[in-house]
Amino acid sequence: MSTLQPKGEQLKKAIKWISEKRKEKPDMALAKLVDEASFQFDLSPKDSQFLSRFVKNDDH
């Protein structure tokens, strides 16, 4: 049986996942990583937008 987690937890996991993937594949397009993370962690469109802005700001 799978456990449901609050969306905040899923967002944290998505951020961590993207961080790990960027270390493995630094040339991978950020938008593609965000799309994959959004799908994998079942993020809402609002959370996906936040994730995209968060990782883009993390670059600077």
Q: What is the pLDDT of residues 7-58, one digit of tens each?
A: 689 999 999 999 999 999 999 999 999 999 999 999 999 999 999 998 888 7
Q: What is the pLDDT of residue 1?
A: 43
Is it the case that residue 3 has pLDDT exceeding 60? no
Q: 32 with 8: CB under 8 angstroms?
A: no
Q: What is the pLDDT of residue 59?
A: 63
Q: What is the pLDDT of residue 5?
A: 53
- What pTM did the predictor assign? 0.80
Q: What is the pLDDT of residue 56?
A: 85
Give one DSSP letter per residue of 1-60, joined into a string.
-PPP--HHHHHHHHHHHHHHHHHH-TTS-HHHHHHHHHHHTT--HHHHHHHHHHHHHHT-
Q: Give CA angle at 35 (8, 56), nearest 5°.
A: 75
* Length of the chain in terms of residues written: 60
